[in-house]
Chains A and B, each alone.
Chain A
Amino acid sequence: MKHIQLLLMRTVLAMVLTFVSGMALADSIRFATTTSTYNSGLLDYLLDHYAKVSETEVQVISVGTGKALRMGENGDVDLVMTHAPDAEARFIGEGFGIEPRSVMYNDFVLVGPKEDAAHVSLAHTVTKGLSLIMASNQRFISRGDDSGTHKKELQLWQHLGSLPTFAGYLESGRGMGHSLQMASEMGAYTMTDRGTWLALKDKLELRLVLEDDPQLLNPYQIILVNPARHPHVNVNSAREFAQWMVSSAGQEIIGKFRINDEVLFVPSAQ
């Protein structure tokens, strides 16, 4: 009985300690951002550097762009970094976000099975590439999660006239990393941001089949949640962090981030 009491007391003590240590942090912000920046490792890299210059702890919640903006709308986070220009414009237009700043860009690429049965690598434009996949009814994994990548992909299909309805078109409903792995396991094509692709490609049975179409540009913006809408947000610390991201220091770190000697994101703040 004594043992159990002792064990119980220890557990309670450990719990109290974890709570207290969690609360002892003076200042923190909640930062909703996309799976593409998180899965590639960029954010961990950036935040390690930010921790050297700031006391503010940045708590990252990595979700799709649609969900990140939704969290901003509800005031559940202090700032967002997303990559869907139309949705971001709406977010700001409706008064949910303020002070948008462009931070960086990378681009999307089409990847597919090594044998490239649809011959996408012979196409020069992404629209042509997608139409080849559709015409040969190859498998294509769509994120299907209202993320920035998903929005972009739907927009590209729309250039072809209609939303994809061929049998090989599958929605994963998951993040970029999971979707790439599904494509790899199933021998399917998919569209991915270059960052996640470079970070994961060694682990995948896929190859890059199409790139360098201006239509595939992927710009990221950082946006503060409007304190007029949600007075509780930590706007000062959020602004400080956003300013650091677009400062020459932050931009230099983004430009320096590499995986296997390849640049993943190009800093773009003016």
Chain B
Amino acid sequence: MNDLWTTFSTAIAQLLSGDPELWGIVGVSFSVSASALLIALLPALSAGFMLAYFRFPGRWIAISVLNSLLAVPTVVVGLVLYMLLSRAGPLGDLNLLFTRPAMIIGQILLCFPLLVAMSLSAFQAADYRVLETAKTLGANPWQAFITLLFEVRFALLAAVVTAFGRIIAEVGSAMMVGGNILHHTRNITTAIALETGKGEFVQGVALGIVLLVMALVLNVSLGWMQSHSRVLRHGT
């Protein structure tokens, strides 16, 4: 603690040495968050699409509820899920508490509203004529949806990156329903919480670096793709 630089350089060394325990923890984080995102993605995009293009009674209520869900703290999601999944709770027989699937469910709940809200605004910002044109050209609704997806792909990618950033960095739900079990449910954030409790800052810093580098890589590649495609379009 006295020597920040020593902590930092030891952390880097630990990462580079390929410490299996450390990288195992990173693996848990990535597999849990990637699974949650993959499962939530298509339903969320469809919901965003429907909210953007269909008018139905209660639509504005749905959007307000959605926006409120964005503000729900991760620990509240964790608490509710814990009570549901506990043996004493209604879903106890599924035997899911303190497992990775429980963490995945928690993260699905966390990223779903975000994906819907961001894709909703992406679809709303899209040129409605794209959809019309696709339909005139004989596209069925599914093909029209795909065309539109392609049209707003960068905004959707941004939504995916943001959602992934939120769930891989969350600690509240993962700690409560995962239980921070080594080799099973200990991920980057719960490990950082535990290691600082033990006064071991090195591992915490190492894991923090992984998160930061990941965020940087994702956002830089998103930016690169966006600018690259613009160059292409104007170039031809």
Contacts and interface: CB of A to CB of B under 8 A. Distances in A.
Given A11-B38, A12-B38, A60-B182, A22 B100 contact: yes
B34 A11 contact: yes
B84 to A, nearest CB: 12
Contacts of B87: 74-76, 230, 232
Given A76-B86, A175-B197, 14 more contacts: A18-B27, A18-B31, A30-B98, A59-B184, A74-B86, A74-B92, A75-B92, A174-B197, A176-B197, A177-B196, A177-B197, A177-B198, A199-B198, A203-B199
A156 interface: no
Interface in B5-37: 27-28, 31, 34-35
Interface string B77-98: 0000000001110001001011
Interface size class of chain B, counting residues whose CB lies under 8 Å from the partner chain: 20 to 34
A19 B38 contact: no
Interface residues of A, number: 32
A190 interface: no
A203 B2 CA distance: 9
A245 to B, nearest CB: 19
Interface of A: 8, 11-12, 14-15, 18-19, 22, 30, 35, 39, 59-62, 73-76, 174-178, 180-181, 199-200, 203-204, 230, 232
* Nearest 6 CB-CB pairings of A with B: A177-B197, A75-B87, A74-B88, A203-B199, A61-B179, A59-B181
A60 B27 CA distance: 19
B180 A61 contact: yes
B1 interface: yes
Given A11-B34, A61-B180, A62-B180, A18 B198 contact: no
Contacts of A35: 197
Contact of A39 (B27, B180, B197): B197
